[in-house]
Amino acid sequence: MDMKAHLSQLGLTTINPGTQIGSHNLSTGSNITSVSPVDGASIGSTGVCSAADYEKVVAAATEASLAWRNVPAPQRGEVVRLYGAALRKHKDALGALVSYEMGKSLQEGLGEVQEMIDICDFAVGLSRQLYGLTMHSERPGHRMYEQWHPLGVVGIISAFNFPVAVWNWNTALAWVCGNACIWKPSEKTPMTAVACQNIWNEVTADMDHVPDGLSCIIQGDYTVGQMMTSDKRVALISATGSIRMGKIVAQAVAARLGKSLLELGGNNAIIVEPDADLKMVVPGTVFGAVGTCGQRCTSTRRLIIHSSIYDKVVDALKSAYGQLRIGDPLDQNNHVGPLIDTDAVAAYNSALEAVVHQGGRIIVEGGVLDGAGYESGCYVKPAIAEADNNMEIVQHETFAPILYVMRYDTLDEAIAMQNGVVQGLSSAIMTSNLRSAERFLSPNGSDCGIANVNIGTSGAEIGGAFGGEKETGGGRESGSDAWKAYMRRQTNTINYSTELPLAQGIKFEF
């Protein structure tokens, strides 16, 4: 694959801007170097946003939001439609860059760009459907209704594992809702952010009604994100990342009574019933556990198997894991690419040591791969460990391809195990029993924001609202009515009579 050609197509060079107001690049000081976990090579560098440049960004975004909110929503949708068309044009190049910079398979990289295209399509339709309700007033000669207005400036903090899709989940909706966006991407994947901004600039270059500050980027570490989270001019902070990060962001935003949308960690489980179809259980589990090298917030971490079929399922998983091909994710013959960096490898090793120390048993050996093709030091073997749900390490989300398997005897016990973690993102049950499926989906079943039947925990579609409960943060992005997070609700009452009656029949006469 000619990665240089892809980088050139996306407008990327050796040194790239770290602060962007539309097509306007600001001067920056120190640089972030992006190193590919695929081969350890440098992709390029970006600058770091300074406090002075941040002030210019938020001023431009604020000004842009004031102009953009007066552009009719269908016209805003047309801009997003054109952005989606440009993503189609650049899908191969951007998908390859996602794979190379993050380490996920090429198919997953292309799929991530397809998610961007899909949410643009969704947002275009939404631009004509920002509906409010009309309510009957208790007072004669009155009409009551609600409408939705733009928030203003939306700040987006994204994570490395989905370096472009999650940003676009937010921006596509925020733009059609009339907001300007400031993006703080992960410092581990800065080049994909610059590429997305370059595509945006290409689309909007000749559009006089699209202000520069509508799409802005600020690169850097957590200190750059802190400038946004503490800034009352940024009406909404949408943050994706760890629970620890989310708690810090939530406190900072709450201190100024701002709005936050949090998409945090997952500790996702699949329950396998005795009558489950193993032709679905095995591939659903394996992709959920090893896809993106276990670095999805929806990755399958726990497999809760009925005792009567436990050995059969475990043997099938061992066989499947023995067929996995680990290597360069740009080679479509491989199933698993690298972890994002050597820090992630260290966390993976620590988790495997912890599960044994805490009483578990490794049943598919892990380990770090070395030698030809693994020079980056980021390639590891997906592992399976027999464990107890209450183990400290099992309660913790390790962002790596480690699957914990455990037994259950009754469905109530399995559901209690599934729910017995602080996270509440994605869940699934594999069953042919209608009653079991409905029990799992009932108020007494899964407590997660996503609950699936006969599919795995990973691979959500954009049409449904994405997000979780408990310490996953409670936020919702993408489909359904998630657009409401990017707008403010206003209730309106109009009196078209010649009287002024008060609500609740209150009399106030003089």
Instruction: Cite the active site residues.
Output: 263, 297
CB 426 within 8 A of CB 301: no
E strand or H helix that includes residue 199:
helix 190-204
Q: Which amino acid is at 282?
A: V
Measured between alpha carbons, how far is 242 from 492 in angstroms, rounded to an integer? 39
Nearest to 99 by CA among 244, 292, 246: 292
Collapsing DSSP states into helix, strand and coil, what is residue 55?
helix
First to last CA, the chain: 83
CB 442 within 8 A of CB 448: no
Measured between alpha carbons, how far is 234 from 237 in angstroms, rounded to an integer? 7
In degrees rounded to 5, what are phi and psi of residue 116?
-60, -45
Nearest to 284 by CA among 311, 266, 303: 303
**How is residue 237 written in tokens?**
């902070």
Radius of gyration of the chain (CA): 24
Nearest to 310 by CA among 440, 408, 383: 408
**How is residue 275 written in tokens?**
């009558």
**How is residue 93 written in tokens?**
């190049």
Taken as a whole, the chain contains a residue count of 510
Collapsing DSSP states into helix, strand and coil, what is residue 385?
strand
**Number of alpha carbons in the 13 Å side-chain half-sphere of residue 383:** 28
Neighbouring residues of 362: CB distance < 8 A, sequence distance ≥ 6: 352, 355, 356, 383, 384, 385, 386
